[in-house]
Structure 1
Amino acid sequence: MKLITLYILLAFLANLVLPWWVITVAGLFLGLFYKEHAGKAFGMGFAAMFLLWGAQALYIHLANDGILAERIATMLNVGSPLLVVLITGLIGGLVGGLSVMTGSVIAATKDSAK
């Protein structure tokens, strides 16, 4: 739980001034530091970024009365604007999960090589 909270906070603050992909760097370092098993690390990273990106997409959706999400849903031919919010959360979750898992696997590889 501490990893999820720290990851959400770190990624949110970093995304205020840096590009979207900085969440991968943050996740990599958190994965190196916390050294969880690969599956658990992926789940924690996925949950953190799914919550963060999903909440941010939902906020944007509600703040502009759904205009942006509706146009993107039309452009992608997915139907519902809320499905766009869900897809955004899933993409963020996958990126976050893979980055934390990569960090934990690197840490495990370094530990086993000693």
Structure 2
Amino acid sequence: MILAILLALSAWLLSFVLPWWSLAIPAVVLGALLGTSGGHSFGFGALGIGAWWLIHTLYIHIANDGILTGRIADLFSLPHPSLVILITVIIGGLTGGLATLTGYLFRTTFLK
């Protein structure tokens, strides 16, 4: 669980100065340092980044009264704006999980 918390905090800090894909940097490092298995690394990486993106997306949604998510839903012909939030969380979770898994696999491959 500490992996997910550290990953969410580091992604939050990096989001102030770097683009969205910068979450992969601490995910690879933390996956290499704290990952105990492939499933553990992927699961907690997906949980940490998915939770962070959910909080951030809900904040943006509430801050502008859903205008942005409504327009993006219209752009992609989605029936409801909440699907934009769901898709965003899934993409973030997959990105975080795969990056953390990559860090764990690098450690197990190169430190044997």
TM-score by length of 2: 0.96
The answer to whether the 8 Å contact 1:50/1:89 transfers is yes
Aligned to 1:108: 108
C-alpha distance in 1 between matches for 2:47 and 2:65:
26
The answer to whether the 8 Å contact 1:8/1:49 transfers is yes
Aligned to 1:35: 35
RMSD: 0.8
Runs of 4+, deviation exceeding 4 Å: none
Q: What is the one-letter code of the residue matched to 1:28?
A: V
Does 2:95 align with 1:95?
yes
The answer to whether the 8 Å contact 1:4/1:47 transfers is yes
The answer to whether the 8 Å contact 1:35/1:108 transfers is no
1:7 to partner: Cα distance: 0.5
Percent of residue pairs identical: 42
C-alpha distance in 1 between matches for 2:16 and 2:25:
15
1:35 to partner: Cα distance: 3.1
Aligned to 2:56: 56
Aligned to 1:74: 74
1:42 to partner: Cα distance: 0.5
C-alpha distance in 2 between matches for 1:98 and 1:59:
25
> How many pairs does the alignment contain?
112
C-alpha distance in 2 between matches for 1:78 and 1:36:
39
C-alpha distance in 2 between matches for 1:38 and 1:88:
23
Q: Which moved more, 1:92-101 or 1:30-39?
A: 30-39
Aligned to 1:15: 15
C-alpha distance in 1 between matches for 2:65 and 2:35:
42
Q: Which runs of 5+ in 2 are unaligned?
A: none
C-alpha distance in 2 between matches for 1:98 and 1:47:
11
